[in-house]
Amino acid sequence: KQEVTQIPAALSVPEGENLVLNCSFTDSAIYNLQWFRQDPGKGLTSLLLIQSSQREQTSGRLNASLDKSSGRSTLYIAASQPGDSATYLCADKLNSGYSTLTFGKGTMLLVSP
């Protein structure tokens, strides 16, 4: 059974800092991995999707890396802003075909001005 763990559970940083969120998964035979952002009372927004054949994906100030062999992914946020405050979730998918994702519990990020 696939398990996804996110560390830390919560993180508080001052504005402008670069930060790294960690995600680990027990079954390294994943098909892809996604990072989502969840704002209170709102749904999930997909930030980055990394296919198993890729090592990283970048979007603006966000960079996600994937190391299948070690069962790890990281989300790097450069020059953090208060608007980045949210819960960040990683989720992986084991097979091609339909998307039954396995989610971690998330990292709650607070960026203070």
Partner 1 sequence: NAGVMQNPRHLVRRRGQEARLRCSPMKGHSHVYWYRQLPEEGLKFMVYLQKENIIDESGMPKERFSAEFPKEGPSILRIQQVVRGDSAAYFCASSPGTGTGQEKLFFGSGTQLSVL
Which of residues 80 and 102 has its CB atom nearest to partner 1 in the complex?
102
User: How many CB atoms sit inside 10 A of residue 54's CB?
Assistant: 14
Which of residues 47 and 77 has its CB atom nearest to partner 1 in the complex?
47
Which of residues 40 and 113 has its CB atom nearest to partner 1 in the complex?
40
Say how many CA atoms lie within 13 Å of 24 toward its Cβ.
6
| Structure tokens given for 61 | 């100030």
Q: Where along the sequence are the contacts to partner 1 (CB under 8 A)?
A: 4, 32, 34, 36, 41-46, 49, 51, 89, 91, 93, 96-106
In angstroms, give the least distance from the CB of 75 to partner 1.
16
Amino acid at 49: L
